[in-house]
Amino acid sequence: MSTYKALLAEKVALEAKLEEMRAAEVAGVIAQIQQLMADYELTVEDITVRRRGRPAGSAAKAPKAEKAPLPPKYRNPKTGETWSGRGRAPAWLGAKPQRFLIAEAAEA
């Protein structure tokens, strides 16, 4: 049975060997990529990922324009609540919403 310290030493040795192997393989892969790029006359721009549409960062650069709230079309005379006519109708409108129309909205 191995001791804790022996296993840690083994782990350190394996990690060092892994780094060595990776460095050796990466050098070979880079050389292979460079050779293929030369053979096919490719540039870095040719092999970078191209996406359709706007670049990912463009939305963050251009702030979205805030929408102005819609003017109210209906007003509850008892509470002063208003409704623009969009979305779910408030209960106070009832069956005859025409009686709650605001004069400016009725003329438009």
Beta bridge partners, 103, equal: none
User: Are 8 and 55 part of one and the same domain?
Assistant: yes
Range of the domain at 28: 4-61
Q: How many domains does the chain have?
A: 2
Q: What pLDDT shows up at residue 53?
A: 67
User: Are 94 and 54 part of one and the same domain?
Assistant: no
Q: What is the pTM of this model?
A: 0.38
Q: Are 88 and 81 in contact (CB under 8 A)?
A: no
Q: Which mean pLDDT values do the consecutive 10-residue runs of the chain (108 residues) have?
A: 90 95 93 93 83 61 79 92 91 89 69
User: Are 88 and 40 part of one and the same domain?
Assistant: no
Which tokens hold the place of 93?
């409108």
First to last CA, the chain: 90
* CA distance linking residue 37 with residue 26, whole number of Å: 16
CA proximity to 37, closest of 25, 27, 46, 26: 46
Q: What pLDDT shows up at residue 16?
A: 96
Return the DSSP state at 83: E
Q: Is residue 69 part of a domain?
A: no
Q: Is residue 81 part of a domain?
A: yes
CA quadruple 20, 22, 24, 27: dihedral positive or negative?
negative
User: Are 56 and 89 part of one and the same domain?
Assistant: no
- State the CATH number of the domain containing residue 88: 4.10.430.30
